[in-house]
Structure 1
Amino acid sequence: MPVELTGKVALITGGSNGIGAASARRLASLGVRVVVADVDVDQGKLVADEIGGVFVRCDVTQPAESVEAVAVAVRSFGGLDLAFLNAGIGTGCSLGDDFDVEVYRRAMAINLDGVVYGVAAALPAVRAAGGQIIATASMAGLMPMPGDPVYGANKAAVVGLVRSLAGAYPDIRVNALCPAFADTDIITPLRSTLQDIGMPILPVSTVVDTFMSIVEGSGTGEAWFVQSGRPSEPFGFRNPPGPRNPDGSRIDAARKDPVSIALEEN
């Protein structure tokens, strides 16, 4: 049965372009009231006006700006059902002789810190609504990324964050969207190389289809991959080592935090 989204409220960071803008349009077409948050003010206002939403300038590297973006959603529409923490950049940052600390810190600040700050800002409102948080990670968070190891580290951290948050906050849903190379500005420096080696480039609409599968689904703590040639689904983290009792039986660490486990054992 289709999920009824009419009247729900969504906040999208990185909402001015690419996956964020396309997701804003898709949600708005289904009756969702959308707050577009971005540092690209001109384009962000165009998207917000187009969909009948609200724009707020938001630099995700600044915690106070994520707090304000959530406040705008609550003031404008009365609450927040979905926080789509989508803002991100490529890095092109190697760890060799050309390692650039400033490039590294900027990538970490946007791709990882921005998600952390966004979660911290959105949690109260999303929990009040019994809603959900979706963070854009990447296939680079699920497999090695030799061409951009810092980006791979950023996105793997987002996947780990999402999986842990799902256990910490069982009253909401928290998931990650993990696309391969999609047709957005982030691949501009790589586009010719990708085309030369025959690497498929995903249409943005395909990524948004998977985003909507997450929105309308029921799972939590999942990392949905989007890849050419196969249906999207949650990546299977099969048989992770995990904590075990001395007899070898598994401890459900996703359900119990270490303090609770210790209290039960004492």
Structure 2
Amino acid sequence: MELKGKVVWITGGANGIGAATARRLAGLGALPVLSDVDAEGGQPLAAELDTLFVPCDVREHADSVRAVEAVVERFGGLDVAFLNAGVSTGCDLGEGFDPEVYRRAMSINLDGVVYGVNAALPALRARGGGDIVLTGSMGGLAPMPYEPVYAANKAAVVALARSLGPAYAEEGVRVNALCPSFAETRILDRLRDALGDFPILDVETVVDAFLNLLASGGTGQAWPVVPGREFEPFRFRGVPGPRV
């Protein structure tokens, strides 16, 4: 995929995977636009890359709409939406269950993705098509006993990408999920003890996978990013159909 001049909106762009992606895209001649609740991290990075930072709480639909409007006003359109903002939860369903922690995690990891898709679609359609990449997780493809709520909202993100891909294919809008295993980001802060010596991804490897996903031209796919594995879409088994 030729990225020079492409406008890419990145949520969760102030640090971690989002920041690394923005830096790589800028180096390839793309125009990354950063959104985050962390203005202290996002504004200096935007200044470094000579681009736009738009404050955005993905839990608020209106924030995503305003962010896309700002992108279009500044750069004339939108080519790629990388809906990457996410948090871990530390929330189980037993005695330690906290409804506020649960609601926050679901709002950021799932509602924020839904709101971002809705906000980005008009701008992508106006461009004649484009890409939406959702940050899922290997936790959305495999059991995650120590983070069940995180696994649940990431599984929903994967299902959303698989369903939206064919829904928008005829319009030239591709929707895919990027599914990293554990990467060196802030999300690991509360998980390190549980992970032990599990191999951790460098964020640059996740960016490599993101670029490979864009170049593939596929849609409705989930791309695992696992240490030592090639980048390719996950091959889901067919579900049982009805018997006559």
TM over 0.5: yes
The alignment covers a number of residue pairs equal to: 241
User: Residue 191 of structure 2 aligns to a residue in which SS?
Assistant: helix
Structure 2: which amino acid aligns with 1:136? T
1:71-150 matches, within 5 Å, as 71-129=69-127, 130-150=129-149
After the TM superposition, list the runs of 4 or more consecutive aligned residues in structure 1 that deviate by more than 4 angstroms: none
1:186 maps to: 187
Describe the superposition over 1:193-221 as per-residue Cα deviations: whole angstroms up to 9, x where unpaired: 42xx3101110001110011112221000
1:231 maps to: 230
Give, in whole Å, the separation in 2 of the partners of 1:127 and 1:94. Answer: 40
Give, in whole Å, the separation in 1 of the partners of 2:2 and 2:161. Answer: 25
Give, in whole Å, the separation in 2 of the partners of 1:203 and 1:157. Answer: 25
Q: Structure 1 residue 51: deviation in Å? A: 1.1
Is 1:173 matched up with 2:174? yes
Q: Structure 1 residue 173: deviation in Å? A: 0.6
TM-score by length of 2: 0.96
User: Residue 118 of structure 2 aligns to a residue in which SS?
Assistant: helix
Structure 1: which amino acid aligns with 2:90? G
For structure 1, the 5+ residue unaligned runs are: 248-266
- Greater shift, 42-51 or 14-23, is seen at 42-51
Is 1:212 matched up with 2:215? no
- Work out which structure has the larger RCO, using CA pairs closer than 8 Å and 6 or more positions apart in sequence: 2
RMSD over equivalenced CA pairs, Å: 1.1
Structure 2: which amino acid aligns with 1:214? L
Q: Structure 1 residue 42: deviation in Å? A: 1.3
Give, in whole Å, the separation in 2 of the partners of 1:22 and 1:56. Answer: 17
Give, in whole Å, the separation in 2 of the partners of 1:78 and 1:216. Answer: 23
Q: Structure 1 residue 168: deviation in Å? A: 1.1
TM-score by length of 1: 0.88
Give, in whole Å, the separation in 1 of the partners of 2:192 and 2:88. Answer: 12
Structure 2: which amino acid aligns with 1:114? G
